[in-house]
Structure 1
Amino acid sequence: MEDVLNKQLDQLQKAIDGVMELKTKGQSTDEARTSVTLMFVALKHANREVKQKIKAGRDNLHLEKNKVDLSRLQLQNLLYEVSHLKKEIIRCQKFKSRDTQLELLTEEEYADKLSTPSDSKDELSSHKKHLHRLECELRLRKDLDKQYSTLLNSKQELLQDSLSQTQRYVSFAPALRTLMGATQPLHDALQLSLDVEWKLSAVVKYLPKPLYILFINLQSIQRICDDHTFTSEVVGYESEVQMQDLLNEKHHDSLQSLKVEDEKYGQPESPLEKALVPHPLHIRITIGNAGAYQLILQIRYFELLKCTAVWAQMNFASNNGGDTNFVHNILRHLYPNDLGIEIPIPGIQYELQNFNISADECLAHLKAKNFGKPYCWLQGMCAIPTVNSSMLYNHELNLNKNTQEIITRISRRWNTWLKLSQQIRGLTYKDVDLATLKENIYPAGLSCSLVQWTAITLEEFHAQNSDVFKISSDDNEITYSIYRAVIVRGAAKMECFIRIPSNYPREIPLWILNVHWNGCHTSQNNSAIKMMEFWTNSLQPKQLEDNERILYAQLYRTIYSFDIFLETEGSMQSTIEYNKEKPYISAFAKRNRARPYRYIKKGSVYAFKQ
């Protein structure tokens, strides 16, 4: 086709040259031009044939490419299947049954304990025989587990019996004390020193050094105090200390034999329990008067940790139930940044590494065994040097003054929390007379009434929208007790959500208010509610004559603030639902969002003002 096109182009070139020659000679060129035009038609026809052939070639090329791509894809699929099959082959080669990791019985033990008829064995294949043996051993292990449960229950029954016998033995103590009290004149006449202090002196000498220093300081403070706010005593017996010393000596002598037995029979006790065994003697501090609620502090010493730990509990001497959730918060927030979440002994981490024990495991073990927490202030009372998380070294030298200050702080926080618990209990059962619980000297009565006070969860409190809650504060391991109070006056209702922090009284309870009257009013959509929340939460204990009634005072402020809100808000509506029952001075002297919540004495008249 290329030759045809070249030939036609040559002819066309010659015809055009001929036309040019005729034109230069001045002759007529019509016939020549007509022939040239016809040549263009032939050239166009040839050009079309060339395009058609090129298109046909491209189509054929595309078909061939598709065939090649299809064959290539099939080859790749085959390669993938080959690699997958290789992996499956390797996986099958590495497959191992789980029973290979089990410790099965020997052939002799299996024949004795799990014997089967020989006829049935011959009929089974090796695989089915193995499955039958596994099923038999599974039944055997279940039987052994039942036997173990039975023995464990019998052990618990023996422990309960031993505990009951121990309690009966301890019950002889009151009778013996009565006998000693009745024979005291005879002791005095015979000049016999059979008092309690003589017995204590024989036990005190077995105390470890930190507990001995603490007990001597407590005894000295107890003797100089006139109010007798606390008592201290040593709990334990001399025989327990002597027995522990003998066990420690035997442990050092037979350490290698114990290791062999542990490897053979398994370790019956974890190394953590062996290492963190407290001293047999510990100190018990009782804060509070007899016949009422008492706070009991159990202080133990751990030789491995080289520190002491304290555990708090409540004693119901009056046989009345109470809220014991706040007992541990009293010690946790006694001093700032001393939460008992670390072991404050210098270099204790390196010593614990020798026993493959971490500090977190030790703290978790102390908490699980009700041994308490190793606070820094407790180590200061026992003359133990400490280093806190900020790597600040501290060694208390004035032990008597420091111990007396700590006991005073604990007693003060204990009394404060006890009064707070009584307030919560009174509000829960609505056993409170608001007419006699005035914040100051305001004589007018209250129109609203408290109808409900219940405990709620922290999630329900977070669901409330309030600008007060947006204030950010450091957590510092602070927990919260949440309550919901309902105050009603007529058709109007106000929900109060109260959050009491665990570091009370450093941080006062927080109140969130929601008013349901002609819609739902919160601090987000009503500035008056925002002002009411501020007025309630701005109350400080120092503003009260008796700071033990902070909840009652806050409730009193909230109730009369709700009265003022209804009376001032209702006066601006067409139908007056609530009449003004309280005297106001310039109720709207400032912006309308401000309510006259403060009250003053003007002459002999008490009135509310902004």
Structure 2
Amino acid sequence: MDREWKLQQLVQLLPQPLYLAYMNIHALELAKECDVCVVVVGSEDDVRQLEIAAQTEVVKSNASSDTDELDIGSVAKKRKTHGGNNDLLLDLMQEQRKRILQPHPLEVRFTINNGAKSMEESITVKLRYFKRLGFVSAATVISLSDAEQNYADATLTQDVLKYLHDDDVGDTIPVPGAEYELKHINMTTKECLDHLKSKEYGRPYRWLQKMCCIEIFNDANDTSVVATPTEQPKLQKMIPDLIKSIQQLWNYRLNLIKQIRALVQKHIDLYLKEERLPTTRPACSLVQWTALTYEEYATSAPYNDSELVNGNQLYYRAVVVRGSAKMECLVSISSKFPTESPLWFICIYWNGQHNAMNSAAVKAMEFWTNSLTQAQLQHPLALLATQLVRTMYSFDIFLETEGPLYNPVEYHREKTLYKGIREAYTCETIPLYRGWHS
């Protein structure tokens, strides 16, 4: 009871944008419409101190003369007023930056579970309000079981919310007035966003401002038109849909983490027992599955289609070997995974370098791998591994087809492999290249 009373006290101290967000999400929690719970985190004392500091600032502002008014944007004026004291100017700038970049002491946190009974796997969204800049930011905290935590690299758990909407990744400040405030402290939008990231405050998404009834620019690329705040009746529909979208995104990401873990551990067939695969295992072996940055991926890829691959995706490298031959696969995973299948680029290093740009065989291999969809599979966690297995079978067939053309002959055609693949995929149209079939 005492805890509930303290929570209600904090709720009353929330700034309006956070208060609206809290009340709407709390209503969902009470109605049990979504698997969500919301709390307010912070100290009442910190709020009181903030109020006292704000009142003191007002008094100082009223008492100061026009020439002493703090205006960081006018450096020449400052130097004249303070006799060229650069140290004092720097102190004033830092003081004003601190005030403008300081979020409200209270934050709203809502936690969404994965829809299962296990409470170990959840995503918590932390909302912070920046009064002077006029926006709310959102950061995420991911909770995983010990088994998943050890294999969930940072690319899978950081900035999860930026994958919610392709056209709203939090790389702009969508509210009017913020740019003016930043100009007065000699800070660019990018520097402000970098500051938010360094402090783990998250990003100021457009959908988030709508959820908190904050005015935003009507278009992300047009700052001349301002959209009116979202009305309460629309919020009552928007927020449940938003919570469900975050939960779906989280479940998709959780499924991806499980699939990545299986591949890192080389447990390729962990989720393939229900799938229609050849009884003969590939002769090649997966030796490495590692995460890449976008820059590493772009540098390694033989070609890059900006419509298919961009910085808002996840990237991996798979290395498969058989004898002296090596196959390197660059895998890009869309934010819409598993609705959109991962895209594989294949490069084979054996008697030269073979990729889709110079080899029809590799181009056919890529098509066979990339044409697989989740709808064709039985298990919800089988997509990545099945793509990998397809690619490994293709690699074996490539080597056994091309092998006899070189001396000494390192690879011989395995009749059982071809027979198994034909049996498994008789209902599919498999792209054939020279020597694919016996």
TM over 0.5: yes
The answer to whether the Cα contact below 8 Å between 1:423 and 1:551 also exists between their aligned partners in 2 is yes
- 1:323-346, Cα deviation, whole Å (9 max, x unpaired): 233333421121122121222113
Could you say which structure has the larger radius of gyration?
Answer: 1
The answer to whether the Cα contact below 8 Å between 1:420 and 1:549 also exists between their aligned partners in 2 is no
Corresponding residue for residue 285 of structure 2 = 450
The answer to whether the Cα contact below 8 Å between 1:272 and 1:362 also exists between their aligned partners in 2 is no
- 1:448-498, Cα deviation, whole Å (9 max, x unpaired): 2434114275676556575xx35342776435433232143xx36341322
Assess, with a 3 A threshold, how the Cα gap between structure 1 residues 596 and 242 changes in structure 2: closer, same or farther. same
Q: SS of the counterpart of 1:433?
A: coil
Corresponding residue for residue 164 of structure 1 = none
Give the one of 425, 428, 431 matched to 1:599. Answer: 425
CA distance in 1, matches of 2:25, 2:154: 25
Assess, with a 3 A threshold, how the Cα gap between structure 1 residues 367 and 472 changes in structure 2: closer, same or farther. closer
CA distance in 2, matches of 1:568, 1:600: 20
The answer to whether the Cα contact below 8 Å between 1:279 and 1:302 also exists between their aligned partners in 2 is yes
Question: What residue identity is the alignment partner of 1:408?
Answer: K
CA distance in 1, matches of 2:419, 2:429: 5
Give the one of 143, 148, 166 matched to 1:315. Answer: 143
The answer to whether the Cα contact below 8 Å between 2:171 and 2:203 also exists between their aligned partners in 1 is yes
CA distance in 2, matches of 1:453, 1:360: 36
Assess, with a 3 A threshold, how the Cα gap between structure 1 residues 582 and 383 changes in structure 2: closer, same or farther. same
Residue 552 of structure 1 and its aligned partner are, at CA, apart by 0.8
Give the one of 169, 176, 197 matched to 2:4. Answer: 197
Corresponding residue for residue 161 of structure 1 = none
The answer to whether the Cα contact below 8 Å between 1:326 and 1:502 also exists between their aligned partners in 2 is no
- 1:577-600, Cα deviation, whole Å (9 max, x unpaired): 222114669xxxxxxxxx979812
Corresponding residue for residue 247 of structure 1 = 53
Give the one of 425, 438, 454 matched to 2:261. Answer: 425
Unaligned runs of 5+ in 2: 71-77, 433-438
CA distance in 1, matches of 2:345, 2:195: 39
CA distance in 2, matches of 1:537, 1:607: 13
Assess, with a 3 A threshold, how the Cα gap between structure 1 residues 532 and 242 changes in structure 2: closer, same or farther. same
Q: Across the two proteins, how many residue pairs are aligned to each other?
A: 398
The answer to whether the Cα contact below 8 Å between 1:276 and 1:302 also exists between their aligned partners in 2 is yes
Corresponding residue for residue 497 of structure 1 = 329
CA distance in 1, matches of 2:240, 2:22: 12
Question: What residue identity is the alignment partner of 2:16?
Answer: K
The correspondence of residues 254-403 of structure 1 with structure 2, limited to 5 A, is 254-255=60-61, 256=63, 266=88, 267=91, 269-288=94-113, 291-316=119-144, 318=146, 320-321=149-150, 322-350=152-180, 352-353=182-183, 358-387=188-217, 388-391=219-222, 393-394=226-227, 395-397=229-231, 398-403=234-239
CA distance in 2, matches of 1:492, 1:242: 70
Larger RCO: 1 or 2 (CA < 8 Å, sep 6+)? 2
Residue 399 of structure 1 and its aligned partner are, at CA, apart by 0.8
- 1:379-423, Cα deviation, whole Å (9 max, x unpaired): 111122211323364443311221112222222222222222222
Question: What residue identity is the alignment partner of 2:276?
Answer: I
Assess, with a 3 A threshold, how the Cα gap between structure 1 residues 374 and 518 changes in structure 2: closer, same or farther. closer
Residue 277 of structure 1 and its aligned partner are, at CA, apart by 1.5
Q: SS of the counterpart of 2:416?
A: coil
CA distance in 1, matches of 2:284, 2:309: 34
Q: SS of the counterpart of 1:254?
A: helix
Matched, 1:485 2:323: no
CA distance in 2, matches of 1:233, 1:524: 54
The answer to whether the Cα contact below 8 Å between 1:564 and 1:596 also exists between their aligned partners in 2 is no
CA distance in 1, matches of 2:129, 2:297: 41
Give the one of 581, 584, 589 matched to 2:416. Answer: 581
Residue 358 of structure 1 and its aligned partner are, at CA, apart by 4.5
Question: What residue identity is the alignment partner of 2:200?
Answer: N
CA distance in 1, matches of 2:127, 2:196: 12
CA distance in 2, matches of 1:528, 1:456: 27
CA distance in 1, matches of 2:159, 2:319: 24
CA distance in 2, matches of 1:271, 1:569: 69
The answer to whether the Cα contact below 8 Å between 1:294 and 1:315 also exists between their aligned partners in 2 is yes
CA distance in 2, matches of 1:215, 1:525: 57
The answer to whether the Cα contact below 8 Å between 1:293 and 1:318 also exists between their aligned partners in 2 is no
Assess, with a 3 A threshold, how the Cα gap between structure 1 residues 404 and 481 changes in structure 2: closer, same or farther. same
Assess, with a 3 A threshold, how the Cα gap between structure 1 residues 246 and 318 changes in structure 2: closer, same or farther. same
Corresponding residue for residue 509 of structure 1 = 342
The answer to whether the Cα contact below 8 Å between 2:276 and 2:424 also exists between their aligned partners in 1 is no
CA distance in 2, matches of 1:306, 1:328: 24
Residue 362 of structure 1 and its aligned partner are, at CA, apart by 3.0
CA distance in 1, matches of 2:25, 2:406: 67
Tell me how large the CA RMSD over aligned residues is.
3.7
- 1:260-317, Cα deviation, whole Å (9 max, x unpaired): 9996873273421122221111101223366523322210111112210112232356
Assess, with a 3 A threshold, how the Cα gap between structure 1 residues 547 and 433 changes in structure 2: closer, same or farther. closer
CA distance in 2, matches of 1:475, 1:442: 29
CA distance in 2, matches of 1:477, 1:498: 14
- 1:13-66, Cα deviation, whole Å (9 max, x unpaired): xxxxxxxxxxxxxxxxxxxxxxxxxxxxxxxxxxxxxxxxxxxxxxxxxxxxxx
The correspondence of residues 407-426 of structure 1 with structure 2, limited to 5 A, is 407-426=243-262
Percent identity at matched positions?
31
Which has the larger displacement, 402-411 or 286-295? 286-295
Unaligned runs of 5+ in 1: 1-193, 586-594
Question: What residue identity is the alignment partner of 1:330?
Answer: V
Question: What residue identity is the alignment partner of 2:415?
Answer: K
The answer to whether the Cα contact below 8 Å between 1:448 and 1:562 also exists between their aligned partners in 2 is no
The correspondence of residues 73-88 of structure 1 with structure 2, limited to 5 A, is none
TM-score (norm: length of structure 2):
0.77
- 1:101-132, Cα deviation, whole Å (9 max, x unpaired): xxxxxxxxxxxxxxxxxxxxxxxxxxxxxxxx
Residue 375 of structure 1 and its aligned partner are, at CA, apart by 0.4
